[in-house]
Amino acid sequence: MHTPPVHYLFFSTAIFFAALLMALEYDLIRNWDLKPSEQKKLQVEEIFVLASILIAELLIFSWRRMRDRADELMRRMAAEQDAHQSARHDTLTGLPNRKLFAERAGEALSNSWNRGTDCAVLLIDLDGFKPINDTWGHASGDAALLEVAERLKSCSPKTGMVARLGGDEFAVLCEAPLGGTAATSLAQGILRELEKPIGINGHNIAISATIGIAIGPANGRRAEDLIHAADLAMYEGKRSGRGTVVMAT
């Protein structure tokens, strides 16, 4: 509901009370022939009515001001939350972005170090994704990326995190316990899932991926080092023929 501006409320209240005062004076003149005691009683009654109306107006005005301030606070909080969300999430897929992924990887490394367990970063780069945009258009490319994001979420551990680091590059973070064998098995399952054709606009689009795996804290005690190790392993897989899984050394 639209709230009138503050100056409008003051202006309308002033006009209202001016009209009431004029009505009071007219009533007093009209009842001039009353006895002094009766005139005084009439004045008291009308003043009481005026005071009651004034209090009611002030209460309404205060309530509106409080409601406006509450609405403004909610709008600011929502805007801050949206800004926070946008700063840490990919705008297309809604997945965590590189910044949030690095933060969570750092937390996972800290937990692994304290518990004496492992965590894993799987860096996933789609093979030959550019021709999809060139052949079918960017809308089809975006649809393919959305499907990839859903498939990664469906085949990744519930306790892990799936992120889009940028372009056609994704990542999966898995917390302990997850050694090299389990991480490789997970990566192979992801490859099989991504190799299934994607139906877009009546066409079946085939994609593949290359995955680099880094195990923390063995391959890096900082999030940046662990992600970099997985990135190097992924590029090694690209050089060796793509569509493969490579473990960082």
Kindly list the catalytic residues.
168
- Three-state secondary-structure class, residue 190: helix
Rounded Cα–Cα distance for residues 185 and 24 (Å): 90
Rounded Cα–Cα distance for residues 159 and 152 (Å): 13
Closest of 190, 96, 201, 98 to residue 151, by C-alpha? 190
Give bridge partners of residue 203 from the DSSP assignment.
200
Instruction: Provide the 8-state DSSP code for 222.
Output: S
Under a CB-based contact definition with an 8 Å cutoff, are residues 170 and 152 in contact? yes
Q: Which amino acid is at 204?
A: N
The burial class, CB within 10 Å (0-12 / 13-18 / 19+), for 84 is exposed
H/E element holding 119? Answer: strand 119-127
